[in-house]
C-alpha cells in the first residue's frame, strides 16, 4: 500500500478550514449504502493549551442536500494523535504551518508502513468496519 502514490495520504486531500481548525480528508475505498468511508486529519487550536493534530476515521454521506459525517473513532476510540504544540495564542499562520507539518508526518509514517497510520487508509480495518 505505501508504495502506491495513488493511495491516500499521497493523494491531495479535501481541505476544509474551520474556526481555529483545518480538516484534511481522503476517501478510503468505495461508498457503501450512500456512505463514503474517509480518513480525516484535523488540526485544532484550543485556547490555553495549543495545537493538536489527530487522525480519525469517519463516513461522509448526504442527507437532503446536507453533507453529514459520522465519526467512528469518537465512539470509544479517540483517533491517533499525530502532533501537539503548546501555544498560548492562536495564529492562523501557525495553524496552517502546524497542519502542513502533521500532513507530512502522516505521509512519512504511511510510507514507513506504520500500522497505526495505514489502518486509517484501509477500508477493511477496524476503523471502518464497526
| 13-27 tens-digit pLDDT | 888 889 999 999 999
In a domain, 1, yes or no: no
C-alpha count within 13 angstroms, C-beta hemisphere, residue 30: 2
What burial class does residue 55 get, using C-beta atoms within 10 Å of its C-beta: 0-12 exposed, 13-18 middle, 19+ buried? Answer: buried
Number of domains in the chain: 1
Q: Is residue 8 part of a domain?
A: no
Domain assignment present for residue 41? The answer is yes
Which pLDDT belongs to residue 53? 96
Question: What is the pLDDT averaged over residues 101-127?
Answer: 93
Using alpha carbons only, what angle is made at residue 39 by residues 33 and 43, rounded to the nearest 5 degrees? 135
Is residue 63 assigned to a domain? Answer: yes
36 versus 114: the higher-pLDDT residue is: 114
Residues pairing with 9 in the sheet: none
**Is 45 a domain residue?**
yes
* Cis omega (within 30 of 0) for bond into 14: no
The model's pTM is: 0.85
The parent domain of residue 101 ranges over 14-121
Question: Which residue reads 487550536 in cell numbers?
Answer: 45
Amino acid at each position: 500500500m505505501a508504495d502506491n502514490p495513488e493511495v491516500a495520504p499521497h493523494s491531495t486531500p479535501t481541505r476544509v478550514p474551520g474556526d481555529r481548525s483545518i480538516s484534511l480528508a481522503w476517501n478510503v475505498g468505495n461508498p457503501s449504502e450512500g456512505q463514503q468511508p474517509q480518513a480525516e486529519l484535523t488540526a485544532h487550536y484550543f485556547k490555553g493549551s495549543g495545537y493538536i493534530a489527530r487522525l480519525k476515521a469517519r463516513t461522509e454521506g448526504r442527507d437532503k442536500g446536507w453533507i453529514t459525517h459520522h465519526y467512528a473513532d469518537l465512539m470509544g476510540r479517540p483517533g491517533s494523535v499525530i502532533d501537539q504544540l503548546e501555544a498560548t495564542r492562536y495564529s492562523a499562520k501557525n495553524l496552517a504551518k502546524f497542519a502542513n507539518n502533521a500532513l507530512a508526518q502522516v505521509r512519512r509514517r504511511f510510507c514507513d508502513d506504520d500500522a497505526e497510520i495505514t489502518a486509517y487508509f484501509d477500508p477493511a480495518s477496524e476503523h471502518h468496519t464497526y
